[in-house]
């Protein structure tokens, strides 16, 4: 993996991440392996969407990596590896509600599943692509497969978007606005495109009082209906001389210096309503009744803080993550928190990747540890965890049942494109599986998006 920012931008270009994939981490750290969904064929020509970086020799090994032999430290508590999983059985472990396949995303853009509304309809996005300049949106009924096409969203253009709210009343898509001059040239304004389902109309919100941001990917709608946005406060510096070279021949940024953010919020109905929340955070998330955050991210997470939204009472605890672990992903639901981490590369290019689950009171629940684990997200009210992995033998999507301690493998192999992710109600979740193969024979050039439901 290279340190040069332009190369990292080319690697991640044109494909807005959904949900747990933090674009800022992609740009600065290069830890993410999946190519993110392209915004448009036009944009892709301006900033080339380079092939996946497969620098780790462990990726080419068809056997599961031996973490102990490679010298990877074992975390405390209950630890599971991907080889512990059994194949999930459709109809017994989960049911498929909807799916959509794109056969060749290497050639052109396609269609995507951007989440599920509170009343059970899938937000379906078509394009943009070479024959269609702007995206179209529809609400897809999983029961019938019928699509109700929405009125054209003229202001959206080709901006990259993240679904932050899909309610019965409105659909809210956060996007990057105009570029803003900054020290590293990555900051931009924020805008939100709000679709009123009753009137079939779109409105675009832009908040002039909101400072520039790195991108919309950290934005979260809180239980109060406001959109909460992290604004960069301090950035971890690359060490003098660059990152040290790891055993896999790539730069190893384990134990990186962390980043911090100031938390702001904006109204989704009034553009003049902008508020500095007066809180310095790293990663943050909401449960139904709490705000949860870390001291920093993209490095040592520090302490985890929990604020009761009803009483304002705050507690904090040390999550006891590894000494060299960088916090890259963060989610919370129910009374649980999931933290995705990269903790270094060891002999033979074996990576120490982890998804740590703890309770909001600081009790350790489980650690999913393996080489190539790329992220985890709590779903179904915090009772289940989705995991993605990119190892040659262990690559795929997994579902972990926290209560029954079942690790289920949903798919073998991962697409090099993310095409289905976003908010979903109840026990539903979105995930991606590979479709087709590239010329190399290893990476898929297509992807299928799935909307599934846990069977308890």
Question: Is a pLDDT exceeding 90 seen at residue 167?
Answer: yes
User: Would the pTM of this model clear 0.85, i.e. be above it?
Assistant: yes
For the ranges 137-151, 286-300, 436-450, the lowest mean pLDDT is seen at 436-450
Two structure tokens written together for 109: 């853009």
Question: Is a pLDDT exceeding 80 seen at residue 440?
Answer: no
Question: Is a pLDDT exceeding 90 seen at residue 422?
Answer: yes
Question: Is a pLDDT exceeding 90 seen at residue 127?
Answer: no
What does the pLDDT read at residue 130? Answer: 82
| pLDDT tens by residue, 372-409 | 998 899 999 999 999 999 888 899 999 999 999 999 99
Q: Tally the domains of the chain.
A: 1
Question: Is a pLDDT exceeding 70 seen at residue 237?
Answer: yes
For the ranges 253-257, 414-418, 434-438, the lowest mean pLDDT is seen at 434-438
| pLDDT tens by residue, 188-200 | 899 999 999 999 9
The answer to whether residues 322 and 352 touch, using CB atoms and an 8 Å cutoff, is: yes
Two structure tokens written together for 87: 């194949």
Residue 48's domain comprises 5-454
Q: What is the CATH number of the domain that holds 173?
A: 2.130.10.10
What are the beta bridge partners of residue 161?
A: 175
Question: Is a pLDDT exceeding 80 seen at residue 295?
Answer: yes
Two structure tokens written together for 322: 């590894």
3-class SS letters over the chain: CCCCHHHHHHHHCCCCCCCCCCHHHHHHHCCCCCECCCCCHHHHHHCCCCCCCCCCHHHHCCCCCCHHHHCCCCCCCCEECHHHCEECCECCCEEEEEEEEECCCCCCCCEEEEEECCCCCEEEEECCECCECCCEEEEECCCCCCEEECCCCCCCCCCCEEEEEECCCEEEEEEEEEECCCCCCCCEEEEEEEEECCCCEEEEEECCCCCCECCHHHCEECCCCCEEEEEEEECCCCCCCCCCECCCCCECCCCCCCEEEEEEEECCCCCCCEEEEEEEECCEEECCCEEEEECCECCCCCCEEEEECCCCCEEEECCCCCCCCEEEEEEEECCEEEEEEEEEEEHHHEEEEEEEEEECCCCEEEEEEECCEEEEEEEHHHCEEEEEECCCCCCEEEEEECCCCEEEECCCCCECECCECCCCCCCEEEEEEEECCCCCCCCECEEEEEEEEECC
The rounded distance, in Å, linking the Cα atoms of 46 and 80 is: 42
Question: Is a pLDDT exceeding 50 seen at residue 13?
Answer: no
What does the pLDDT read at residue 287? Answer: 97
Percent of the chain surpassing pLDDT 90: 66
Two structure tokens written together for 346: 């060891």
The answer to whether residues 360 and 290 touch, using CB atoms and an 8 Å cutoff, is: yes
Nearest to 23 by CA among 34, 378, 51: 34
| pLDDT tens by residue, 22-63 | 443 433 344 443 334 333 333 322 222 222 233 333 344 467
| pLDDT tens by residue, 195-215 | 999 999 999 999 989 999 988
What does the pLDDT read at residue 186? Answer: 72
């Amino acid at each position: 993996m290279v340190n040069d920012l332009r190369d990292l931008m080319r690697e991640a270009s044109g494909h807005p991440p959904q949900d747990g994939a933090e674009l800022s981490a992609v740009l600065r750290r290069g830890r993410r392996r999946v190519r993110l969904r392209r915004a448009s064929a036009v944009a892709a020509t301006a900033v080339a969407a380079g092939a996946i970086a497969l620098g780790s020799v462990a990726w080419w090994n068809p056997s599961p990596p031996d973490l102990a032999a490679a010298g990877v430290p074992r975390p405390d508590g209950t630890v599971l590896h991907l080889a512990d999983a059994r194949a999930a059985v459709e109809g017994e472990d989960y049911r498929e509600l909807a799916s959509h396949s794109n056969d060749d995303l290497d050639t052109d853009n396609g269609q995507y599943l951007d989440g599920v509304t509170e009343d059970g309809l899938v937000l379906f996005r078509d394009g943009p692509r070479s024959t269609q300049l702007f995206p179209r949106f529809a609400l897809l009924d999983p029961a019938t497969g019928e699509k109700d096409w929405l009125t054209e969203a003229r202001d959206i253009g080709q901006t990259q978007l993240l679904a932050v709210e899909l309610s019965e009343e409105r659909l809210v898509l956060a996007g990057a606005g105009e570029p803003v001059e900054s020290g590293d040239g990555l900051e931009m304004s924020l805008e939100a495109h709000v679709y009123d389902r009753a009137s079939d109309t779109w409105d675009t919100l832009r908040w002039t009082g909101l400072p520039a941001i790195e991108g919309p990917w950290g934005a979260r709608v809180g239980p109060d209906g406001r959109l909460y946005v992290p604004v960069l406060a301090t950035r971890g510096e690359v060490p003098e001389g660059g990152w040290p070279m790891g055993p896999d021949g790539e730069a190893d940024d384990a134990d990186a210096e962390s980043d911090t953010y100031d938390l702001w919020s904006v109204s989704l109905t009034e553009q003049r309503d902008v508020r500095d929340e007066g809180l310095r955070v790293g990663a943050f998330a909401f449960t139904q009744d709490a705000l949860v955050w870390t001291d920093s991210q993209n490095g040592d997470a520090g302490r985890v803080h929990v604020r009761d939204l009803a009483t304002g009472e705050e507690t904090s605890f040390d999550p006891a993550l590894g000494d060299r672990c960088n916090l890259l992903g963060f989610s919370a639901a129910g009374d649980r928190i999931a933290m995705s981490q990269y903790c270094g590369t060891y002999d033979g290019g074996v990576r120490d990747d982890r998804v740590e689950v703890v309770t909001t009171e600081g009790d350790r629940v489980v650690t999913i540890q393996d080489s190539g684990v790329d992220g985890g997200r709590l779903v179904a009210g915090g009772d289940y965890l989705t995991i993605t992995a990119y190892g040659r033998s262990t690559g795929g999507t997994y579902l972990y049942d926290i209560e029954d301690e079942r690790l289920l493998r949903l798919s073998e192999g991962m697409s090099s494109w993310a095409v289905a992710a976003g908010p979903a109600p109840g026990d539903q979740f979105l995930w991606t599986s590979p479709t087709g193969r590239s010329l190399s024979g290893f990476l898929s050039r297509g992807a299928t998006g799935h909307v599934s439901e846990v069977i308890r």
